[in-house]
Amino acid sequence: MTPLGAGSSTSASTARAAVEESDDAGIRKVFDTHVFGAAEMIKAVLPGIRARRSGAIVDVSSIGAQITPVGSGYYSAAKAALEGLSDALRGELAPLDISVTIVEPGAVRTDFAGRSLTQSATIIDDYADTAGKRRKEHDNEQEKGTSSERESASDLCRADRI
């Protein structure tokens, strides 16, 4: 059996709320999905990739790791944590000729705001003009994404270098 040559971490979970409005279960779900889930995948595929002494890890992050909109603090924090993990891993694997790439797409047409969304039960009126406004705007954002999931995956596969 040929050892695995590549691994990709892509997942979806978000909690749309102001930092104060967010409940612990929703916060944990976001970090379990984007940080701990990615770490488990990486640790599962690395033995095979290391055995080949070449390969790639591709972690799908988000532009939200660089630009944090109001109402998305925990999502952005989780994606930033994934990027920190990926950066450390890149240095650890470089001597083994294994690349680590972070992909930061913007809005992609998915059901991200549907099945992957955790809404906070707590709504604080003081955040109506910030996180509350973002909540309403975000409902239509995914439908206007730049490309479909399939197109985005195809673009990544055709990239000159991962």
Spot the catalytic one: 74, 76, 120, 127. 74
Spot the catalytic one: 76, 79, 86, 120. 79
Tell me whether residue 146 is exposed, middle or buried, using C-beta atoms within 10 angstroms of its C-beta: 0 to 12, 13 to 18, 19 or more. Answer: exposed
Residue 29 is a catalytic residue: no
Residue 61 is a catalytic residue: yes
Spot the catalytic one: 61, 72, 76, 86. 61
What does each C-alpha distance from 56 to 27, 121, 134 come to in angstroms?
29, 40, 36
Using DSSP bridges, classify how beta strands 98-103 and 55-60 pair: parallel, antiparallel or unpaired. parallel
Residue 147 is a catalytic residue: no
Six token digits for residue 162? 């991962």
The catalytic residues are 61, 74, 79
